[in-house]
């Protein structure tokens, strides 16, 4: 999920995060004991006051900005800071006990896992059961394998495009029909960069399910496009978030054996696209730690190698799905200079926003990433930027980060990541409708680049 509004975008994360404590210590069974989510009102309708966020980020002890709504900022703080932050007359506590919030969710998940364990694969994979809750990594892999077995003419399952820091396989799938297979436009989707954003992988699962379900009656999409999908990038972090550390964000590579127990790199600050030029941290214990070098993380390397495959030279667009805040973000995140294709990027992004609203009435905001906050080393900027254009010199890609449900105004900080499973299907439905329009528009209006003679 993304954090800062334009009025505070000039703040560099590197310095403010220097005093932030690690999200958890691995030895703790209850990593969020004593932590609260505190809400501060924004004094201006255009964003939160720069001095307020400076004070928050520079506080001693664990501080994490979870979300910024239209008129407030939600901050997660540890027990040592609770008194300092709640002592402000302007602040209010919206989650009094983060650990209790996580405990309730983990107990619910345990009951759900018992229920699924009693089912056969046929029952478990039935849409009415599968999309009733979230699933662990091994279950997700089995689900995609089952889809490929059921639809061998439409789905190709790739068991590994590379390994994670802890040597887990990162899977991929390709979805298309045999029609015009060698010439049709290609579209990239990946999700699960951040471990706690569970609705991302579930939404991609629903997208694939819907495409296959509709193909017989409406073959237009798969006859005209190939979907290249990485369903879960941050496998290690995602599995770790199932162990009780539900709000973990980064991957699980041990970065530095210091007093903080610094573990993990923010995978969506590690891509080699203007890496380290704002909106990330050089501090290993930060949630937005950008890593020791551009593209240092095995997960990022695996996706780049797979992306730049000789069989992927017909790519037209790429989307990275996150949560939460209900946003459709387009390049750039590292500079206020407009992208060369700003007009068409805005048109396609606005169309995604409008298709989502038509489905269930949810209001997403379509904007440039830099107009929300500064962010560098992100996947969507890499999709659009120099390295990919050098590889595909005749075009640029329709590149987006989509932040899924809920909106920052609907959720109380960390509760936004713990999205109730009843939201899986409607979230998937609105994204499916948006993707259909996005593919049609981008295929018809590719971002062609005139080659120098």
* Residue-wise DSSP of 255-297: EE-STT-EE---GGG-SSSSTTSSS-BS-TTSTTB--SSTT-S
CA 208 – CA 397 distance, rounded (Å): 21
CA 239 – CA 138 distance, rounded (Å): 9
Q: What's the pTM?
A: 0.90
**Tens digit of pLDDT for each residue in 323-375?**
999 999 999 999 999 999 999 999 999 999 999 999 999 999 999 999 887 89
pLDDT (tens, 9 = 90+) of the chain, 453 residues, equals: 433 332 333 222 222 223 333 333 343 578 888 888 888 887 665 555 544 543 554 444 566 777 777 778 888 887 666 666 666 656 788 898 999 999 999 999 999 999 999 999 999 999 999 999 999 999 999 999 999 999 999 999 999 999 999 999 999 999 999 999 999 999 999 999 999 999 999 999 999 999 999 999 999 999 999 999 999 999 999 999 999 899 999 999 999 766 566 899 999 999 999 999 988 888 888 888 999 999 999 999 999 999 999 899 999 999 999 999 999 999 999 999 999 999 999 999 999 999 999 999 999 999 999 988 789 999 999 999 999 999 999 999 999 999 999 998 888 766 899 999 999 999 999 999 999 999 999 999 999 998 766
Helices marked H in 361-423: 379-384, 386-391
CA 282 – CA 305 distance, rounded (Å): 25
Give the active site residue among 226, 297, 403, 433.
Answer: 403
Nearest alpha carbon to residue 51 among 111, 81, 23, 11: 11
433 is catalytic: no
**Contact in structure between 38 and 32 (CB atoms under 8 Å):** no
């Amino acid at each position: 999920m993304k954090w800062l509004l334009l009025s505070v975008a000039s703040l560099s994360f590197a310095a403010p995060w220097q005093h932030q404590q690690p999200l958890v210590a691995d030895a703790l069974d209850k990593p969020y004991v004593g932590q609260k989510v505190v809400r501060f009102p924004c004094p201006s309708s255009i964003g939160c006051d720069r001095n307020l966020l400076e004070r928050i980020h520079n506080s001693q002890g664990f501080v994490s900005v979870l979300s910024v709504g239209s008129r407030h900022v939600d901050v997660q703080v540890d027990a040592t800071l609770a008194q300092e932050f709640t002592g402000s007359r302007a602040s209010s506590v919206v989650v009094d006990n983060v650990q209790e919030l996580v405990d309730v969710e983990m107990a619910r998940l345990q009951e759900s896992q018992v229920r699924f364990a009693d089912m056969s694969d046929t029952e478990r994979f039935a849409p009415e059961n599968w999309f009733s809750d979230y699933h662990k990594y091994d279950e997700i892999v089995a689900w995609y394998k089952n889809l490929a077995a059921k639809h061998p003419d439409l789905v190709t399952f790739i068991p590994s495009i590379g390994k994670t820091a802890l040597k887990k396989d990162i899977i991929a799938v390709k979805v298309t029909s045999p029609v015009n297979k060698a010439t049709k436009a290609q579209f990239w989707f990946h999700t699960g960069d951040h471990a706690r954003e569970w609705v991302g992988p579930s939404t991609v699962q629903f997208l694939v399910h819907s495409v296959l379900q509709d193909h017989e009656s409406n073959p237009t999409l798969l006859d005209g496009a190939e979907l290249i999908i990485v369903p879960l990038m941050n496998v290690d972090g995602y599995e770790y978030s199932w162990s009780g550390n539900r709000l973990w964000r980064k991957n699980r590579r041990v970065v530095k054996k210091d007093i903080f127990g610094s573990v993990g790199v923010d995978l969506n600050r590690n891509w080699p696209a203007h890496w380290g030029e704002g909106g990330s941290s050089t501090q290993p214990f930060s949630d937005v730690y950008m890593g020791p070098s551009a593209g240092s993380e095995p997960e990022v390397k695996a996706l780049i190698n797979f992306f730049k495959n000789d069989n992927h030279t017909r790519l037209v667009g790429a989307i990275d799905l996150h949560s939460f805040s209900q946003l459709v973000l387009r390049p750039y995140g590292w500079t206020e200079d407009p992208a060369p294709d700003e007009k068409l990027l805005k048109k396609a992004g606005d169309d995604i926003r409008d298709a989502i609203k038509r489905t269930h009435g949810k209001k997403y905001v379509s904007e440039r990433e830099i107009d929300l906050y500064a962010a560098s080393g992100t996947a969507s900027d890499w999709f659009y930027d120099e390295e990919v254009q050098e590889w595909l010199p005749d075009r640029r890609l329709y590149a987006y980060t989509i932040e899924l449900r809920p909106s920052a105004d609907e959720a109380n900080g960390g509760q936004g990541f713990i999205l109730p499973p009843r939201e899986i299907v409607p979230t998937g439905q609105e994204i499916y409708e948006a993707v259909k329009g996005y593919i049609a528009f981008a295929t018809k209006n590719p971002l062609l680049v005139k080659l120098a003679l």
